[in-house]
């Protein structure tokens, strides 16, 4: 199962990169546990343009990712892999200010996961909170993609667990 990070695992507060900013989306832990119990590999595919924009470094991102993995592990949840796009065409860090193939809605991150983990994308599921997540899934050939947490154009975390439960039943 391919998962966006911000808005799916943690509340998207914009460029979340420090432990004190991290808060699980209500219902996310239950969903991740249930997906894992059903045999899904949990794979994060996330745009992190804050790196290219100079808001935080790649090292700071790596430390934050380790913090997130530790928190998930304490809840009995194991991520098989995390794929991150640090690029943005308008970035302030010159080597990362590129129009890459890994920034969603392009499918690069998903193809990296397919290659590295031997995923059958036609049998895979992607869960995202933005249309760019869904576009990337379609371009990559992911079998099913779900846009969750949206209500009238804004995230509705109170209603988040219901669509996620439906994903596991479909």
Catalytic residues: 4, 6
DSSP letters for 115-164: HHHT--GGG-EEEESSHHHHHHHHHHT-SEEEE-SEETTEE-GGGSHHHH
Neighbour tally for 127: CB within 10 Å: 26
For strand 154-155 and strand 150-151, is the pairing parallel, antiparallel, or unpaired? antiparallel
Q: 151 Cβ partners below 8 Å, 6+ apart?
A: 159
Q: 50 Cβ partners below 8 Å, 6+ apart?
A: 15, 17, 56, 61
Residue pair 6/133 in contact (Cβ under 8 Å)? The answer is: no
């Amino acid at each position: 199962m391919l998962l966006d990070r911000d808005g799916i695992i943690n509340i998207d507060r914009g460029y979340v990169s420090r432990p004190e900013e991290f808060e699980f989306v209500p219902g996310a832990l239950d969903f991740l546990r249930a997906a894992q119990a059903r045999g899904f590999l949990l794979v994060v595919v996330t745009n992190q343009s804050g790196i290219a924009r100079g808001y935080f470094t790649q090292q700071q991102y790596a430390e934050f990712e380790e913090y997130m993995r530790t928190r998930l592990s304490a809840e009995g949840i194991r991520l098989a892999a995390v794929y991150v796009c640090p690029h943005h065409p308008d970035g302030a860090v010159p080597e990362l200010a590129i129009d890459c193939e890994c920034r969603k809605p392009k499918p690069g991150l998903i193809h990296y996961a397919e290659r590295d983990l031997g995923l059958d994308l036609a049998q895979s599921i992607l869960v995202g909170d933005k249309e760019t997540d869904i576009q990337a899934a379609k371009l990559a050939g992911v079998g099913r993609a779900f846009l969750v947490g949206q209500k009238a154009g804004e995230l509705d975390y109170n209603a988040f667990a219901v669509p996620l439960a439906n994903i596991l039943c479909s």
